[in-house]
Chain A
């Protein structure tokens, strides 16, 4: 059995793996120490011939307390404080720095429903809700090397767009708009999952993310735009079309 993280195809996924790795290392060491301590206590400090009486202490002496607090504090600084500092930087510098003004970013409107995903990009005119929008069902096509900026809504229940190979997920919630950004660093086909229980067929709510090099992506876009018009997909209902998806306000 080979238990590994899914293949990482993203720009920032290694940050997530880094945090997980750091935690596994530090908590692993901490647990090892606990284990050794426990084993010694269990093996040697048990009642047997020659050890019928425990050492009587309430552990209330200042030095007992100092020791306990010191160990707790070391753990807290080595794991928690370090982690918070690191995470806060990564959140404000990467994950929560949305490409709002970035003209290079590909914007996608994601509509979740029981039990499928619909992805809508603006098409050549760069505006949503016009005839040249490209709408795909269950398939998200993106260029490699550009920020992908998703806004999500749900038509019915709470879903969660889960991109294991990009180490991220975000809920799609009826009545509000959520957002997520990521960037593909390599071409390929990657699975999209639903992570939030959304009814009997939750397990079937799978999608596909196809990342292509910029040139190929443009060819695809041209084809898809025609297909989209042919199939009439542009007319597919989209959650909350009427009020717009707030691309301008950044929220």
Chain B
């Protein structure tokens, strides 16, 4: 079980959090302008990387804030956590 450093609350047990899928997928500003394929790309297509992955997490049983996490899925090392809207601190 991870120990996650919520950017707002500090270190907490993983059981307080909920994973929210791939990070940095921006909702299109003008969905109506998009073709079916373009919309489907936004709607359905997600990466599932073995290695360093950018993820959204929610401190659902804590401050309720969403934030981003950089995690190496091959060994579960959390490389960084950072607030929504911030640039990833690691590559």
Q: Answer yes or no: are A and B bound together in one complex.
A: no
Residues of A within 8 A of B (CB): none
| Interface residue ranges, B against A (CB under 8 Å) | none
